[in-house]
């Protein structure tokens, strides 16, 4: 009644379809779910680094001057 190769073709198609849906969903979420750090301004990032202790007062002031100079 049924030919085996027809069933294999449809089964193969559905696996490909499911894989494409999973990859597409992953890429969609990754594209539209950007981390907040990408939307922060350089000044905000600098302030956070200074507040967390990554920068000394001297380093903070030097980098702030550079950012202010680049803005004008």
Residues 20 and 41 both lie in one domain: no
Token pair of 2 as six digits: 């049924």
Residues 3 and 19 in one domain: yes
Query: Is 43:67 a contact under the CB 8 Å cutoff?
Result: yes
Judgement on whether residues 56 and 26 belong to the same structural domain of the protein: no
**CA separation for the pair 26, 16 (Å, rounded):** 15
Say if residue 2 is in the same domain as residue 26.
yes
Could you list the residue range(s) of the whole structural domain that residue 10 is in? 1-33
- Same structural domain, 16 and 3: yes
| Whether residues 26 and 5 fall in one domain | yes
Q: Do 12 and 40 sit in the same domain of this protein?
A: no
Q: Count up the domains in the chain and report the number.
A: 2
The pLDDT tens digits of the residues spanning 25-71 come to: 999 988 887 666 567 888 999 999 999 999 999 999 999 999 988 77
pLDDT the model gives residue 52: 93
């Amino acid at each position: 009644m049924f030919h085996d190769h027809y069933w294999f073709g449809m089964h193969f198609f559905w696996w490909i379809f499911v894989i494409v849906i999973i990859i597409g969903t992953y890429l969609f979420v990754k594209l539209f779910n950007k981390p907040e750090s990408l939307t922060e301004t350089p000044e905000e990032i600098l302030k956070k680094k200074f507040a967390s202790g990554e920068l000394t007062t001297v380093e903070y002031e030097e980098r702030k001057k550079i950012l202010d100079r680049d803005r004008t």
